[in-house]
Amino acid sequence: MIQLYNVCKAYQKDSSALADISLKIPKGDFLYITGASGAGKSTLLKLLYAAEKPSRGQILINGQNVTRMGAGRIPYLRRQLGVVFQDFKLIPTRTIFENVAFPLEVQGRRRFEVSKKVYQTLKQVGLEHKLHRRPLELSGGEQQRAAIARALVVDPLVLLADEPTGNLDPEITLEIMELFKGANARGTTVLLATHDREMIRRFPRRVIVLEGGRLVDDRTP
């Protein structure tokens, strides 16, 4: 599903955020990307959703070479991905329904189809009773569930999550992890960047460890 070959990323000449990363992630895998702050976790995810271009190396997602992809094709790649952020990135002026509907509207889906799918997804994350609320009227955990619903509403091939529980209490973290596990069980490949060792211990899956931009460990329990 995802292949990286000797990927490097340098923001400045003399320091590299990622160095010589080679990795294969099969379809339906659940993978933790871990490491200290500044290890390169977020950079790796940004390369995967094409917010950044690698300085060297090749990245393939579902057979498409992201590195050689023109700007015109990037939106179509992103429609196959779901991305979840630590700060949720919900639009505060829009209702939860409108926020979750966004990726489907971007794809030009019909209104009836959008309404049905958004309602189903919000029900899946337990927010069907709050669909007309605005993000700031919800708790942090609820906002993250809404962000996950927005990522899942398009039935993505790959779900990328950058510290999705970083701002949340441990109990809420459990709820969020259940949502990721559910998506993975339905066939979505999940890549989750975190430095929360407790979470990795409680939900053991394949882990890759980054240190100073290098891949230092790749283990499967």
Q: Where along the sequence are the contacts to another protein (CB under 8 A)?
A: 49, 51, 71-72, 74-79, 83, 89-94, 102-103, 105-108, 110-111, 150, 154
- Name the DSSP letter for residue 164: T
d(CA 31, CA 40): 15
Q: How far is the CB of 113 from another protein (least distance, A)?
A: 11
Q: How far is the CB of 106 from another protein (least distance, A)?
A: 4
Q: Which amino acid is at 43?
A: T
Q: Which is nearer to another protein, 41 or 213 (CB)?
A: 41
Q: How far is the CB of 171 from another protein (least distance, A)?
A: 28
Half-sphere exposure for 212 (CA within 13 Å, toward CB): 1
d(CA 37, CA 42): 9
Q: How far is the CB of 76 from another protein (least distance, A)?
A: 7
Going across the sheet that includes 189-193, the strands are: 81-85, 158-162, 189-193, 30-34, 206-211, 214-219
Name beta bridge partners: 34. 209
Q: Which amino acid is at 47?
A: L
Q: How far is the CB of 137 from another protein (least distance, A)?
A: 16
Q: Which is nearer to another protein, 151 or 207 (CB)?
A: 151
Q: Which is nearer to another protein, 173 or 189 (CB)?
A: 189
Residue position matching structure tokens 């579902």? 62
Q: Which is nearer to another protein, 63 or 72 (CB)?
A: 72
Q: Which is nearer to another protein, 152 or 199 (CB)?
A: 152
